[in-house]
Structure 1
Amino acid sequence: MKNIVITGSNGLLGQTLVNLLLKEKQNYNVIGFSRGENRSGRNDFKYVSIDITDEEILVEKLREHSPDIIVNTAAMTNVDACEENKVACDKLNTDVVRHLKEYSEEKNTHLIHLSTDFIFDGENGPYKETDKPKPLNYYGLSKLKSENILTTSNIDYTILRTILVYGKVFDMTRSNIVLWVKKSLENKEQITIVNDQYRMPTYVVDLALACKLSIDTKTTGVFNISSNTLLSIYEIAKQVADVFNLDENLIKSISTTELNQKAIRPVKTGFNLTKTNKVLKFFPKSFKEDLQKFKEKLT
C-alpha cells in the first residue's frame, strides 16, 4: 500500500484526486493536507489541517506520515492576485515546492507537482514540454521557478502542466470558467468573454487521472495535460452554452485590450500532447466531449 500525501486536498483537483484514489482503498493510504476544516464531505481518509507555508510544521507532518508519494496540488492561482501580492505568491507557489523537494531528497519520495501554460508567453502555442518558457506575469514566473527547483534536483519528480482547469466537487470556495458561464447564463445574465485569447481547457477528472497514472507508473519528467482542441475563450463559453442548452446570445465578445487586467495574459497557449500520449499512455479528448461527461456527472 502506498502512502500518498495530497497538499491542497480541499481544492478542486485535491478533492477530485482524493475521491479517485479512495476508490482503491486497498492500494492507497490517502493523507490530505489543507487549510481549515476538511471540505471533501468524506471522513474515510486521514485529514491534516495545516498551513503548508510554515516549513517547520510541514516537515514535521510529512515525517509523521512518511509518504511514498507527495502530490502538490496547492497553489495561488489567481493571476491578478499574484501580481498584486508577489510575496504571498512566492511563499505558496515556490517556497513550499523547495521544502517539499528538500524533504523528498532526504526521504527518497516521488514528488508530483502541478504547473501551468502561463510559463509561456503565448507567441508560439501550442507548446511542447521542451519549448523555452517565457512567463509574462508573476503567477507564471512563480510556477516556472517551482519547476526549476525540481528540474535541477536529483529527486524523482513529475511535473504536470495544465490549462484552465474546470469541474465541480463537494464544497468549493472558488468557481471556474465552466461553472461561471453556466451559472451566469442560467440566471439570464449577459456576460462578456475575451475573444482573442486561446486555450485548451482541462477537465479536473482528467487531471486527477493523470496524477494517478504518474503515481501508478512512477513516470517522471514533464508532461502536458489538457483537452486536445485549441479554442478562443469566447468559443469555450459558447460550447458551454451549447452543451447545457443555454442562450448563447447572452455571451458578448470583447478584446483583451478592453479588459484592463492587472496581469498580462499570454495570447495563445495550448499544448502539444504527443509525449503525454506516448509515454503516459494518456489520450485527452476534445473540450466538447469532456463537457458532455461533466454534464452527465452533474445530472
Structure 2
Amino acid sequence: MVKVVVTGSNGLLGQSLLSLLLNEKENYQVIGFSRGENRSGRNDFEYASIDITEEKLLLEKLNEFKPDVIINTAAMTNVDACEDDKENCHKLNIDVVQYLTDYSKENNTHLIHISTDFIFDGENGPYKETDEPNPLSYYGWSKLKSEEIVTTSQIDFTILRTILVYGKVFDMSRNNIVLWVKQSLEEGKEITIVNDQFRMPTYVEDLAMTCKLAIDKKAHGIFNISSNKLLSIYEIAQEIAEVFELDKNLIIPISTTTLNQKAKRPPITGFYLSKTNKKLGFYPKSFREDLQRFKEKLK
C-alpha cells in the first residue's frame, strides 16, 4: 500500500489523480491537500484544507500523514497573472517546492513534480528532456527554478514536463483551451486564435496516468508528456471544432503580435517522447485521438 499526498487536489490534474488512484484502493492510500472545501465530489479519501504556502502548516500536515509519495500538482499557471503578481507566483511555484523537497529529503519521500514547456524559449522545438532551458516569462522562470531545486537536492524525484493540459472534472475552477473553444463555438461566438504558436496539448488523464506510472516504476529523472503531434494553436482549435462537429468558420486566425500579452510566449514548443515511451512504457496518441476519447467521456 503506497501512501500518496496530492497537493492541489481540487485542480484539474488533482481531481483526475484522485479518480485514478482511488480506483485501486488496495494499492494506494490517497490524501488530498487543497485550499478551501474538497471540490472533487468524492469523500472516500482523506482531505486536508490547507494553504500549502504556509510552511509550518504544510510540514505539520505532512508529518501527520507521512506519505511515501508526494505529487505536487499545485501551481500558479496563468502566465500573465504570474507576470503581474510575481510575489504569489514565487510563493506557490518556488517556495512550496523548496518545502516539499526539504521534507522529501528528510523523510526519504518520492516527490513527483509537474513542470512545463514554458521553461524553453520556443526557438528550437520540439524539445528533449536534456535540452537547455531559456524561459521567456516569469512563469517559465519560476517553473525552471522549481526544477533546479528538485534536481539538485539528491532526493528521489520525478519531474513531468507537460503542455496545454485539458480535460474536465467534477468541479472546475478554471477553463482550458478545449472547453473554451467548444463552448464558444456552441454559443455561435466568433473567436480569434493565434496561428504562429505551436504546441502538443496534453489530455489530463494521460498526465495522471504518467504520475501513476512514475509511482509504480519508481521512475527517477525528467520526463516529457504531451500528445505526439505538433500543431499550431489555430489547428488545435480547428480539430476541436471537427471532433465536436462545430462551425470551423467561427475560428479566425491571428498572429501573436496582435494580442499584446503581458508575458512573452515561446513560438514553437512540443516534446520528443521517446524517453517516456521507453522508461515509463507510455505511448501518447495524437491530439485528435485524445479528443475522441475526451468526447466519449463527456457523453
TM-score under structure 1 normalisation? 1.00
The residue number in structure 2 matching 1:62 is 62
Once the two structures are TM-superposed, the CA of residue 161 in structure 1 deviates from its matched residue by 0.1
Letter in 2 for 1:99: Y
SS of equivalent to 1:262: coil
The residue number in structure 1 matching 2:154 is 154
Once the two structures are TM-superposed, the CA of residue 245 in structure 1 deviates from its matched residue by 0.1
The residue number in structure 1 matching 2:283 is 283
**CA offset digits 1:227-286 (Å, max 9, x no partner):** 000000000000000000000000001100001100000000000001111111110000
Tell me the distance in 2 between the aligned counterparts of 1:130 and 1:2: 30
1:224 correspondence with 2:224 = yes
Tell me the distance in 2 between the aligned counterparts of 1:154 and 1:219: 14
Once the two structures are TM-superposed, the CA of residue 32 in structure 1 deviates from its matched residue by 0.1
Tell me the distance in 1 between the aligned counterparts of 2:165 and 2:133: 20
The residue number in structure 2 matching 1:170 is 170
Letter in 1 for 2:97: V
The list of structure 1 runs, each at least 4 consecutive aligned residues, that deviate by more than 4 angstroms after superposition, is none
Letter in 2 for 1:128: K
Tell me the distance in 1 between the aligned counterparts of 2:282 and 2:86: 35
TM-score under structure 2 normalisation? 1.00
Letter in 2 for 1:261: Q
Tell me the distance in 2 between the aligned counterparts of 1:232 and 1:86: 29
Tell me the distance in 1 between the aligned counterparts of 2:24 and 2:250: 43
**CA offset digits 1:87-121 (Å, max 9, x no partner):** 10010000000000000010000000000000000
Give the gaps of 5 or more residues in structure 2: none
Tell me the distance in 2 between the aligned counterparts of 1:90 and 1:19: 29
Tell me the distance in 2 between the aligned counterparts of 1:133 and 1:258: 26
The residue number in structure 1 matching 2:257 is 257
Tell me the distance in 1 between the aligned counterparts of 2:169 and 2:278: 30
Letter in 2 for 1:90: H
Tell me the distance in 1 between the aligned counterparts of 2:25 and 2:164: 30
SS of equivalent to 2:38: coil
Once the two structures are TM-superposed, the CA of residue 224 in structure 1 deviates from its matched residue by 0.1
1:142 correspondence with 2:142 = yes
- The number of residue pairs the alignment matches comes to 299
Tell me the distance in 2 between the aligned counterparts of 1:277 and 1:27: 24
The residue number in structure 2 matching 1:233 is 233
The residue number in structure 1 matching 2:23 is 23
**CA offset digits 1:128-157 (Å, max 9, x no partner):** 000000000000000000000011011000
Once the two structures are TM-superposed, the CA of residue 81 in structure 1 deviates from its matched residue by 0.2
The residue number in structure 2 matching 1:190 is 190
Letter in 2 for 1:239: E
- What percent identity do the matched residue pairs reach? 74
1:6 correspondence with 2:6 = yes
The residue number in structure 1 matching 2:298 is 298
SS of equivalent to 2:23: helix
1:127 correspondence with 2:127 = yes
Tell me the distance in 2 between the aligned counterparts of 1:45 and 1:274: 35
The residue number in structure 1 matching 2:88 is 88
RMSD: 0.3
Letter in 1 for 2:45: F
Once the two structures are TM-superposed, the CA of residue 211 in structure 1 deviates from its matched residue by 0.2
Once the two structures are TM-superposed, the CA of residue 49 in structure 1 deviates from its matched residue by 0.2
Once the two structures are TM-superposed, the CA of residue 208 in structure 1 deviates from its matched residue by 0.2
